[in-house]
Structure 1
């Protein structure tokens, strides 16, 4: 059973629940290395996106302390499952930090069946797969990325090889795009400033800076 205490008391709130205005524009406090596999079926349709996240040692240690109910410095299967259940529920409002943009239009995400959690070499790992809502055929330009809209958690791909396309792309060209932060700020300074003052808690600035995999078909 999930504990009847808030996620904030477990030290996970800022990473996995709705952010306040102050949290939304803070620098990252939680860091994770990511891998994403875009799975394409024989009909050139995006079947699912498979995610692997490896969290930094400090945050991982915090989770260990909060969820190690029997204090044996090891997360048992039931304790790992509890972490997965809490994260699964908390990230629903954020599309599980997954961004799919097809020909300029945001595509919704179906909730995964669950989030599998493991603890290896002092680091917390999460594994799960999501599907695009309503199906997604490969035509035009489609980009896939991972980012936390609250800017509290920094999830990034250390190597271009951590972004993978598998299956029948029928000659689509893929590229890893790593946006230049200074260039984005210079090009969008006026619009970003206006958006911040209009709604400082509800804007999605981090999408502009997220590393993404782009397919052109």
Structure 2
């Protein structure tokens, strides 16, 4: 996910995300399946020099890049935070990861994050995808941003948008601010939407 960019301010990479919440036979959440589509500039940068530029790259051709991307995401917790009743859940190592290129030359990363322990969704299961440093901007897709796979009858999902930044935060959105940000500062959460899954 390291990007060379000439942009003058954050963010540098834009991602449209779709998330699938996976349920087990016992009605508990067992994993999250992500599909992240990168903006045209990052997509072009990522696949530069791979294969025939006049053809769509296959998932096999993109497999080494998919592996590199997923492995590099581990350092950042896969930019994914899930909670049950306000308590964070832990993820295992990602599985089923692949990259695909679409005819419009955009690249989408797919991967599954299994929960280390299945989580009940009848106690406000929530999910956020964001970069704390706001180097990468994540937005959920306008259409079908979240799917529930094998969910028990009566389960539903909703997406809550973040509150607008106040004038003070807007003034901070400069390269100098992010370059001097102290370790551990979580600015990205202010701009992160939240998926809520509720089951009876």
Task: After TM superposition, list the pairs within 5 Å mapping 1:156-167 onto structure 2.
Answer: 156-159=139-142, 161-167=144-150
Q: Is the 8 A contact 2:89 2:115 kept in 1?
A: yes
Deviation at 1:171, TM superposition (A): 3.2
**Change beyond 3 A, Cα 1:14–1:58:** closer
Task: After TM superposition, list the pairs within 5 Å mapping 1:160-199 onto structure 2.
Answer: 161-182=144-165
Scaled by the length of structure 2, the TM-score of the pair is 0.78
Query: Greater helix percent: which structure?
Result: 1
Cross-structure match for 1:81: 63
| Counterparts of 2:187 and 2:153, CA distance in 1 | 33
Q: For residue 150 of structure 1, give the secondary structure of its aligned residue in structure 2.
A: coil
Q: CA RMSD in A?
A: 2.7
| Counterparts of 2:192 and 2:127, CA distance in 1 | 10
**Change beyond 3 A, Cα 1:84–1:28:** same
Unaligned runs of 5+ in 1: 1-11, 16-25, 187-195
Cross-structure match for 2:173: none
Unaligned runs of 5+ in 2: 170-177
Deviation at 1:77, TM superposition (A): 4.8
Q: For residue 87 of structure 1, give the secondary structure of its aligned residue in structure 2.
A: helix
**Change beyond 3 A, Cα 1:145–1:120:** same
| Counterparts of 1:129 and 1:88, CA distance in 2 | 10
